[in-house]
Structures are given as structure tokens and as C-alpha cells.
Amino acid sequence: MKSKAINHGFIRVAAAVPKMKVGDIDYNVAQILEFAKKASDKGSSITVFPELSITGYTMGDLFHQQLVIEKSKEALNRIAKSSRNLKSLILVGLPIAFEGKLFNSAAIISKGKILGLVPKTHIPNYKEFYEERWFASGYDLYDKEVEISAHMVPIGTDLLFRIKNSPEIVLGVEICEDLWVPIPPSSFQTVRGATIIANLSASNDLIAKADYRKNLVAQQSARGICGYIYTSCGVHESTTDVVFGGHAIIAENGSILAESKRFQLDGELVLSEIDIQHLISDRERTSSFNGSVDKAEKKNFRFIDFDLNIPPPQILNRYIDSTPFVPSNPTEKDKRAEEIFSIQAIGLVKRLNQSGIKRIVLGLSGGLDSTLALLVAVKAFKLLNLPLKNIYAYTMPGFGTTKRTKSNAVKLAEALGTTLEEIDITKGAYGHLKEIGHDGKNQDLTFQNVQARYRTLILMDKANFIGGLVLGTGDLSEIALGWCTFNGDQISHYNVNASIPKTLVKHLVNWVSEQKDFKEAHKILTDIIDTPISPELIKNKGNEISQKTEELIGPYELHDFFLYHFIRWNSSPAKILFLANKVFAKKYKPDIIKKWLIVFVTRFFQNQWKRSVMPDGPKVGSVALSPRGDWRMPSDAEAKLWLKELRD
């Protein structure tokens, strides 16, 4: 099922760490309501408080005091009544006496009603934890309902909470230690439909424990392909030998969306948006996730349906990356670049070893794509201990080749120590134009494509002649847009750039330029990065590049953003437009973004037939368009449905 379009699949959630006083229930209730109102006013639809937040977690033997048990229940009713004025579902923790046992429970509350109680399943009793002294496990529960203020309330570890008007949003609940066991309750909850997990926790702080805790949350959200709201009690729980920091985390499918600062005396409220559409999309296509549903322990869950209005997000708290293929963190960026470059090189190494070919042929234009392909070839040959002179780079100036690009191609090959040969294609291209009846004056598509195909013909013939492999240079962005000449630069024996989008190509070339193995080429690579992107297929005025790709088909930073969200998350054009307008608001006007998104959708659908016959190339990321693996689409599919959404 799909979320309502107005929300674009987003639901804002909050993890609250309120101030509190151990044993002062009235004070704690006031703080819970204050933070709940604050979260509701900020648009949170689900707000989670820490474990045993009504009483305090560190009560010890005071948990058995009848006064505490009764006042906790009264406090729960007060919170429930006050929730009538809140727009948010809230989750609080308290001890519940039932069946002659005491349960450490989470209460789920909405619009004045207690929807259900979920007891903690796994009770820790080691080191500083000795909860078994007071609490029974949810496994020890017999009945399925408990009476609270003359109302029967569902209780159990088998409860899932589903929003009626957005049934794809299903909330599962676990408490603290439940996350730390080999098979957490949330593992069963997610395979039975839960898309968001709430964890009410009381995890004390030790050296490096916060990082471990964060990794646990991130990993569980990844395994469950779910959103995960985790909040642990704050500094005011600290007592005797333990200190609590108040760790709040919101995660989604392996990524941390928001995290508290910890050790804040005034408490903290952390908000972000969970993208339910992303989660549903990933679940639908991850066959192993769906397969695990049938193999999982057969546990029947009770669904508690309730009404909740989810307001459309006007402002997003979560970070939306404008360059999703290039990490923004410098350390991560360099680490990622090294990994990608290695994947490209090893893919080529394997192809050369398997084929027994020891020579490479490629066209070197002085542009970014062919530069990256050459750098990968050099790396592969060094790994194989093959002479770099066995890399045959051909610069093939044509009608639109400028002095700058030709010069950089020559200098780069010389700096890297590869073989370089110049073959001027002007005469041959004119001859071919004449053969097909073209006057050679009209710089139309035929005029341009003749050059691309003629260059490929030369490379293929040269490869036959010397026993080499033609290395492709076209990148993922060009493949997505069909910005390549069929049976021209679209074809090769192996394409190392096949899953590298243009924004990443630029970053990789820049990263390689900083490596000591390529220091001789640093200055040249820097100039190549600064050169305007162009196919150089039409005649230039003077020596300036007149055919600039991004002026013709749009900025690659936009197209790569569109591509990522269209392929990785199967997002609708309306949602992509919504996100792009948020991310690029300071750089592009909405009508410009929409214009180029229409171009992207149109060209993507029009050019699948080119992708259907693309050569092999190494997959490096989650977005790839190989017809043999990641992307299988009919060549004649209609784009009308997608374009209509943008034009309505």
C-alpha cells in the first residue's frame, strides 16, 4: 500500500529525554506532558519517552511499594486524558501489576485512550542490572487484557499498532534489553508488518557504549527495513554507581537520521521524518526479507487500529543529500573513493585475466570520463605488473575538438606513461558524410553521431589489430539519459564507468589526483576537472567550447539527484520534485527544477533500448542500470503516467 501523496511517505517522529526526578511521579508526569506538547506542536506523529519514565528507572525495591504501583496507574490515566489535546501518539513507561506479577511496560496512548500495553520481554540480571528482582518477563503473561480505570486494555508482546488512514504505518514496541538479545522482538514484529519500532530504554553510559548502542539501533533498522525510534533515560536517573546520559536516536534502514547530544541537564527532544515509502519500496523488492516472513517463528500478532492525522511536512528535519552518490563527510568521501576505484580496477583485472588479453585500447578525449577510465586502466595494469605502454590511448580530434582538451589528453598519457597515438578523424568523417549524401555543412545529429561512430570503429579495428580490449568510458548519468551515440561511444568490450554517475566521476578524478601514485598527473587532472563538460561534436567559435552538455540537457547534479531517487527508492516524480525543491532551493527556481525533471523522465524512458544492449561493467553502488542485473525495463514503455504527475 502507498502513503498519501500529500505526505510523500514521510511521518515525523520524536524521541524525548525529559527532565525527571526518581520517584516523583507528579513531577515526571508534568515533564512528560510538557515534552509531549512540544513534540506535538512541532508536528510529531509518534513521540517516545524512556523506559519507566513515569516513575524513573532506578527506583530499586521501591517498585514493589503499592503506593508507587497505584500512583503510576493514576498517572497513566492523567497522561491519557491530557493526550486528547495532542496530535501525537505517545509512548511512556511504567510498572504494571497484573496476574500477581509486576511488568516493566510501555503504554501506547492516543487522543485520550490507552491503546495497549507492551511488557518487556527480556529482563537483564547481570552486572549493574538486576531487574528480575522486580519484574517478570512478557513471556510470563497469560491474559490478553488488563483493566485500567474500568476499561479493558490489550496487553502483550503480540501487539502491533496500525494507523487506519495510513495502514502501511505499523508500530511495534520493544523495551531496552529486548534490542540487545540475539533475536530481538522487533525482528518478528517487522516481518509481520511493523514499519516503525519504538524502543523505550534505560541504558547507562560507559566508555564507547554509545557507539555500540548506535550501531545496534542502525543495524536493527537495517535488518528490519524499518524506522527505529530509540530513547534512553537522562542524567537525572544517575545514582549510586551508574550514570545515564540520555541517548536518543532515530534511524531508518541502517542510517542514523537524528541523535541527541547526551548529558543535557534540561533534557532533549530529537525529531526527524521516517520515509515509509522508502521502507515499503525496499521491502517489496528485497526477496530475502519477504522470504523470511514464511520462515519466521509462527507468532500471531493482534493489530490495534487507531486514527491519527499525519500532517504533510513543510520543513524536513532529516538531512537530504544534494549529492547522494558523493558522501559529504571528507573522511567518508575519501574512503568511498578508494573503494570504488578499487572495484573498478579489480573488475578490469578479472576481465583481462579471464580473456588472456594484455593490451587495452581507449579513446582519450581530455574529458572527465575517458580520464577516469585511463586512470583505472593504469591501476589495473600496475596490479597485474603489466607494462603501461600496453595501454594504447588514442586522441582523435574532430570537428569540435579544442586545443585545451586535446592538449590535456596528450599531457595525461605522457604523464602516466601510456602509449599515445593521434588519429585525426576529420577527413574520414567528411568522407563518410559524403558517402551517405550529407553535405557536411549542416551540424545536425547525423553530423555529430558520425564522429562518435567513426571513433568507435577506429578503436575496434585497432583492438583487433593489436589484440587489445576496447575500454568503454561512458558514465551512468549518460547511460540514464541516453546521452550517447548508439553503436558509437555507447559500445565497448568492457566499461569501467558503467555505474559511476557524473558527479562521482568528478570526485573520483579529483581523489586520484591527490594520490602519490598519480602525482605526476596532478596539475593536468585539475585542469580536466575544471573543463566544461562537452561531447565536442560541433564546430567551435575560436578555441572555446561552444557545445556545453549541461546547457543542453540540464545540470548533472540535478540529474544524478533525480536518478538516485527514481532508481534507488522508486520515488514518484512528485516526490522527487518535492525533495529537489527542498535541497536546491537556493540554487534553482522551482520551474527550472521541474523543467529538467521532465527532461530526465522523458529521456530515461526514451532510451531504454540503448541500455538493453550496454556492455559489461562493474557495479559499484546501489544504483546501476545493467539489463542483466539491476534494471530490467521494456524498451517501449510509456512515460505518460510519470509525466502526467509532473504536469497536473
Which residues are identified as catalytic? 51, 120, 176
Integer CA distances (angstroms), 260 to 17, 43, 94, 218, 333, in order: 9, 18, 23, 15, 24
Q: Is the dihedral of CA 526, 531, 532, 534 positive or negative?
A: negative
C-alpha cell at position 86: 495532542
Report phi then psi at 420, rounded to 5.
Answer: -130, 135
C-alpha cell at position 559: 540529474
Report phi then psi at 252, rounded to 5.
Answer: -145, 115
- Looking at the chain, how many residues does it have? 648
Report phi then psi at 99, rounded to 5.
Answer: 60, 30
Within 8 A by CB and 6+ apart from 300, the residues are 158
C-alpha–C-alpha distance, residues 69 and 637, integer Å: 64
- From 470, 525, 533, 538, select the one nearest 502 (Cα to Cα): 533
C-alpha–C-alpha distance, residues 95 and 76, integer Å: 10
Integer CA distances (angstroms), 113 to 25, 28, 35, 308, 605, in order: 20, 20, 19, 12, 50
* Cα–chain center distance at 19: 34
Terminal Cα distance for the chain, rounded: 23
C-alpha–C-alpha distance, residues 99 and 141, integer Å: 8
Within 8 A by CB and 6+ apart from 628, the residues are 616
Cβ count within 10 A of residue 26: 12
The type of residue at 180 is W
| String of DSSP letters for 125-141 | -STT--GGGT-B-GGG-
C-alpha–C-alpha distance, residues 245 and 208, integer Å: 12
Cβ count within 10 A of residue 128: 10
C-alpha–C-alpha distance, residues 471 and 491, integer Å: 9
Report phi then psi at 303, rounded to 5.
Answer: -95, 125
| String of DSSP letters for 584-596 | STTTS-HHHHHHH
Match 578525449 to its residue by C-alpha cell.
365
Integer CA distances (angstroms), 577 to 134, 344, 550, 571, in order: 53, 32, 19, 10
